[in-house]
Structure 1
Amino acid sequence: MTHVIEVKGLTKRYRETLAVDDVTFTIEKDTIYGLLGRNGAGKTTVMSILTAQNFPTHGEVRVFGENPYENAKVLGRMCFVRESQKYPDDAKPAHAFKTARLFFPNWSQELADRLIDDFQLPMNRRIKKLSRGQLSAVGVIIGLASRAEVTFFDEPYLGLDAVARQIFYDRLLADYAAHPRTIILSSHLIDEVSNLIERVIVIDRGRIIMDEDTDAVRDRAANIVGPSAAVERFIAGREVIHRESLGHVSSVTVLGTLTDADRVRIDAEGLEVAPVSLQQLIVRTTQHAAGSTEQTPLDEGALR
């Protein structure tokens, strides 16, 4: 595959805060990525550096084989849509789309018009007067209609309701199939985007703890459920990333693909195997990386 982005030893420090800690990864052409992690994990910082809106303390970044900083040829091939996108006070959606059409060489006005209708966006209302959902729609429309070779979505769709988010996901997949490009989605709605993303990169405390194909991640763990004594016998020697218990029944999440022999033993012990969703796996892997497999409450919705 072709690398469109190469990152080596990337570090970003803000005074005493280490936001990104010596990360190395590549982004492949024509692939949908999920860039996932807790609030403050370093996701937005990484995307800002890749799009030349921030500077690394150390490390090397190459986009299309070149340094992106003050490089109009490279920057014109990328689109970065973020939740906190700012617009001039008197700007209207029509102004934002007209500017985007001039900036992005692959801009599709036909797709933009369709999305404007899908989201029922009021074109002549000033952007600062739009609702949060309408503001999110402006960013989503620019990100999709730009058809940039690399597009970053830093949770710009948080203000959209469930129906509008589904419209976004459907339009993204349909247009990606017709016009392949590289898309990086930063989201805390992991289960919602799990069927979109082809590769997962998880950042925790500024470091990458997972960089794998989504299909491989799905088979990476399993929940073993049943009588506590039998569960403990089965998981002996395995890596445990989460455990819960109620009375004499336990549910333990273990890493590793189950073999046919494992499944025979599970049946013999009277145990059950429950699926682990992508969100559960990432939440529990992140918790495990922090050094805990205790049964502690964790707000999965806070993973961003």
Structure 2
Amino acid sequence: MKVEHLSKEIEQRLIIDDVNFELKKGEIVGLIGRNGEGKTTIFRLIANHYNKTKGHIFINEENIDRHRELYSQIFYIDSQYHSLSGMTPKTIAKQYQELYPSFDTHRFLGLVDAYQLPINKSYRTYSKGMQGLLLIILAICTNATYILLDEPLDGLDFYVKKQALQLMLEEVAEAKKTLLISSHNLLELEYIIDRALIIKKGRLVKNYQLNEVKESIKKIQMIFPNNELPRLVTENATILESRGKVTVALFHQLSPELITEISSHEPILFEELPVSLEDVVASQVLDDTELVIAKKGGNADE
């Protein structure tokens, strides 16, 4: 799938601004950004729940708005607006048979039974964990190639979350499906995604292959004499955290020459730490003030 020059304007305000990316079969991609940055809008545009202001989406080089049957290769359920509330798994299966030509009813009902979800009770009577698990089972059984999941693990307890993750990972590995997934929990995403798309103010600011970026970025904790941080550090790094005398920063390019220059300031401590997805995202999504608030445990939305 190719997303090209995707834009959306709502009430004369540009919500999504010229977003471009590709999704390859068999990969899990994280769509990452703070609340209100446009993640759900991107999902809705791809799934045709919103009309695009500009841009095109292609599957196998075919424009899906000209070949509308290709929408059956995309699965997305809007968490705010969907019609499942009063349906039982059996009625859901009947509806999705009509929407998806390759819907596997036998597998769907089998998985509902295997995970002990009530077959004759409506979706709205399910617990949040049961609802989340049912949606993932539904996504898999549509046999759509591209599965869009907006906060699918939000609110699930540990046991249900483990079941849901196992289902998703097995489907990608065995059936070469593609998952585009958003989550507030970056620790969860870090261990399942291959690539990270970082959204800020409706724009795609970074498209990271996670393994590559972790190898190229260096996270350093340091202490300098008189607690004075040299200017060359602030000019070449993103400051993640300051705790007393200790400063933690991300260097996107820590060359031997820069290390030599820093060493001339005789640091008391200059030690490399493991880089996490949270570190990478924080350096791209939050500004300096918000980084300090976030690291102190406050609310950056306030």
Q: Which residue of 2 aligns with 1:84?
A: 80
Please report how far the alpha carbon of residue 16 of structure 1 lies from its aligned counterpart in structure 2 after TM superposition: 3.8
Please report how far the alpha carbon of residue 57 of structure 1 lies from its aligned counterpart in structure 2 after TM superposition: 1.4
The share of aligned pairs that are identical, in percent, is 22
| 1:251 corresponds to 2:248 | yes
Please report how far the alpha carbon of residue 140 of structure 1 lies from its aligned counterpart in structure 2 after TM superposition: 1.1
Q: Is the 8 A contact 1:33 1:199 kept in 2?
A: yes
Q: Is the 8 A contact 2:294 2:300 kept in 1?
A: no
Please report how far the alpha carbon of residue 124 of structure 1 lies from its aligned counterpart in structure 2 after TM superposition: 0.9
Inter-partner Cα distance in structure 2 for 1:97 and 1:231 = 64
Please report how far the alpha carbon of residue 241 of structure 1 lies from its aligned counterpart in structure 2 after TM superposition: 1.9
Q: TM-score of the superposition, structure 2-length normalised?
A: 0.84
Please report how far the alpha carbon of residue 130 of structure 1 lies from its aligned counterpart in structure 2 after TM superposition: 2.1
Q: Which residue of 2 aligns with 1:272?
A: 271
| 1:135 corresponds to 2:131 | yes
Amino acid at match of 1:215: N
Please report how far the alpha carbon of residue 275 of structure 1 lies from its aligned counterpart in structure 2 after TM superposition: 1.5
Q: How does 1:144-159 map to 2 (within 5 A)?
A: 144-159=140-155
Cα shift readout 1:62-113 (whole Å, capped 9, x = no counterpart):
2333333374411111111332352255411221123224433443456534
Amino acid at match of 2:184: H
Q: Which moved more, 1:270-279 or 1:203-212?
A: 270-279
Inter-partner Cα distance in structure 1 for 2:231 and 2:272 = 12
Q: Is the 8 A contact 1:83 1:156 kept in 2?
A: no
Q: Is the 8 A contact 1:119 1:164 kept in 2?
A: no
Q: Which residue of 2 aligns with 1:208?
A: 204
Q: Match for 1:121 among 117, 121, 139?
A: 117
Taking a change above 3 Å as real, the CA distance of residues 247 and 301 of structure 1, as seen in their structure-2 partners, is closer
Q: Is the 8 A contact 1:189 1:301 kept in 2?
A: no
Q: Match for 2:16 among 20, 38, 46?
A: 20
Please report how far the alpha carbon of residue 244 of structure 1 lies from its aligned counterpart in structure 2 after TM superposition: 2.5
Please report how far the alpha carbon of residue 293 of structure 1 lies from its aligned counterpart in structure 2 after TM superposition: 7.7
Q: Which residue of 1 aligns with 2:188?
A: 192
Please report how far the alpha carbon of residue 117 of structure 1 lies from its aligned counterpart in structure 2 after TM superposition: 4.2
Taking a change above 3 Å as real, the CA distance of residues 25 and 124 of structure 1, as seen in their structure-2 partners, is same
Q: Which residue of 2 aligns with 1:286?
A: 285
Q: Is the 8 A contact 2:89 2:119 kept in 1?
A: yes
Secondary structure of 2:7's match? strand
Aligned length: 295
Q: Which residue of 2 aligns with 1:65?
A: 61
Q: TM-score of the superposition, structure 1-length normalised?
A: 0.83
Q: Which moved more, 1:243-252 or 1:277-286?
A: 243-252
Uncovered stretches (5+) of structure 2, i.e. residues with no partner: none
Q: Which residue of 1 aligns with 2:293?
A: 296
Please report how far the alpha carbon of residue 220 of structure 1 lies from its aligned counterpart in structure 2 after TM superposition: 4.0
Amino acid at match of 1:251: V
Amino acid at match of 2:191: N
Uncovered stretches (5+) of structure 1, i.e. residues with no partner: none
Q: Which residue of 2 aligns with 1:239?
A: 236
Inter-partner Cα distance in structure 1 for 2:85 and 2:245 = 61
Taking a change above 3 Å as real, the CA distance of residues 109 and 193 of structure 1, as seen in their structure-2 partners, is farther
Taking a change above 3 Å as real, the CA distance of residues 65 and 202 of structure 1, as seen in their structure-2 partners, is same
Inter-partner Cα distance in structure 1 for 2:23 and 2:221 = 37
Inter-partner Cα distance in structure 2 for 1:301 and 1:162 = 25
Amino acid at match of 1:253: L
Q: Match for 2:3 among 2, 6, 10?
A: 6
Please report how far the alpha carbon of residue 295 of structure 1 lies from its aligned counterpart in structure 2 after TM superposition: 2.4
